[in-house]
Amino acid sequence: MLYIGVDLGTSAVKLLMMDENGNIQKIVSKEYPLYFPYPGWSEQNPQDWFAQSMEGIKELTSECDKSQVAGISFGGQMHGLVVLDKEDQVIRPAILWNDGRTTKETDYLNQVIGKDKLSEYTANIAFAGFTAPKILWMKENEPENYKKIAKIMLPKDYLAYWLSGSFCTDVSDASGMLLMDVKNRCWSKEMLEICGVTEEQLPKLYESYEVVGTLKPEVAKELGFSENVKVIAGAGDNAAAAVGTGTVGDGRCNISLGTSGTIFISSEKFGVDKHNALHSFAHADGHYHLMGCMLSAASCNKWWNEEILGTKDYAAEQTDIKNLGENRVFYLPYLMGERSPHNDPDARAMFIGMSMDTTRADMTQAVLEGVAFGLRDSLEVARSLGIQIDRTKICGGGAKSPLWRKIIANVMNLKVDVIESEEGPALGGAMLAAVGCGEYPDVETIAEKLVKVVDTIEPEPELVAKYEERYQQFRKLYPAVKGLF
């Protein structure tokens, strides 16, 4: 049988088809526009997502036996606010995860409602990107639109709705709305009251691997599929990527070096750190995970190479980097503000420590190390909870750099496992579809069967010691310059 994973990203939708043994048959990508109507705003048209996803599915399955397609599932950009009226029309463009308009609402939630209360209700505190502050922003700034809201959903769930007719979401994606009681995997009545929404306006909650419905007859006909093709709930992009890298079960770790950077730790038990520096979310495997998210990771390297150095040959810029652990230049990786662990939208990037003998290679090295140190900040929070991690998977565009992988291994003092097929949330979505269709009994079984490690970078004790010293200096920089932001 064939399973389709749909990764609804910020710049494009990536669609992947695999068979029951995990062999990837084909991958298709379709782009759509991103709109910035005002500085700091970020929006998309949900109809663009569905149109491009349908085109992508047609192209993906154009040469296969369509009767073999059994299930479709998703990984999707998290936190976005999609609102429909009672006629199922989109009321306004979706407000995305990287939209920064909700500073006032975020401050209200954290300071007036209070972080302790939010943590009690949802296991998390408010961040500007989360969904609940966006609802409050609509209530304040677009009251006419706010009154029209019949359905509130997340980006990937808009696709599930138009494919199946099921008004649904999954617990991993819903964890990032600040509307869900994560520990008990249900909507928080207190948060609904604070945001002025009813449970009828919110989708039904499912586990990521659960079937939410089958294709609507008209959709099945347009795609040339059977009406029995199952639609499975899917997961937020980070949880779906974790499934795709086998980061499921207890005490597994994955580091993602994408546009943003994440350190993702799966756990069978629910847990929250006392400062809420990490997100505490439900996981796609039926358990939980802790996640530290830095807003600029590989995007720091892209900015440095393309905007400042004027090159796209990233590898060439790394060839002269030799003296790891001895760089005197530091880089703070806060181009877009920072989420974990500082929760400071005003934080900004900076270089510190240059002298007359500082080279271009030193600056490039500082960027790679700054991102690694930023991720280590979140790892230290997890360690403070007593979580012992000795190895991690790695994924994302930045993970293609052997040098960056080596820096990560030694800054973190972790064994870094490179996997054979790194296709992120799209692969995780296809794997969830296979579990939902009964091909595998659970998420851990399919991950064990399909995820293969092809290389491991071992930390080197001497280099670990050098980086430990550098990291302790890095830790002092943000508190020292915070007042300048």
CA atoms of 335 and 333, how far apart (whole Å): 6
With contact defined as beta carbons under 8 Å apart, do 160 and 210 qualify?
Answer: no
What's the rounded Cα separation, in Å, for the pair 407 and 480? Answer: 25
What's the rounded Cα separation, in Å, for the pair 321 and 87?
Answer: 59
Rounded CA-CA distance 406/449 in Å is 27
Please say if 237 is a catalytic residue. yes
Rounded distance between C-alpha atoms, residue 119 and residue 126, angstroms: 9
The total of other beta-carbon atoms located within 10 Å of residue 31's CB is 11
Instruction: Give phi and psi for 216, each to the nearest 5.
Output: -65, 145
- Pairing of the two strands 2-8 and 69-76: parallel
Catalytic residue among 7, 99, 170, 237: 237
Neighbours of 164 (CB within 10 A): 21
**Residue position matching structure tokens 């609509």:** 138
Q: Are 244 and 431 in contact (CB under 8 A)?
A: yes
Strand partners, 288: 267, 282
Q: Is 79 annotated as a binding residue?
A: yes
- Dihedral (Cα; 192, 198, 204, 208), 10-degree rounding: -20
Here the tokens at position 79 are: 């936190």
Tokens of 205: 């909650």
- For the record, the structure tokens of 63 come out as 């040469």
Establish whether 287 is an annotated binding residue. no
Q: Which residues are annotated as a binding site?
A: 78-79
Q: Catalogue the active-site residues.
A: 237
Q: Which residues are annotated as a binding site for substrate?
A: 78-79
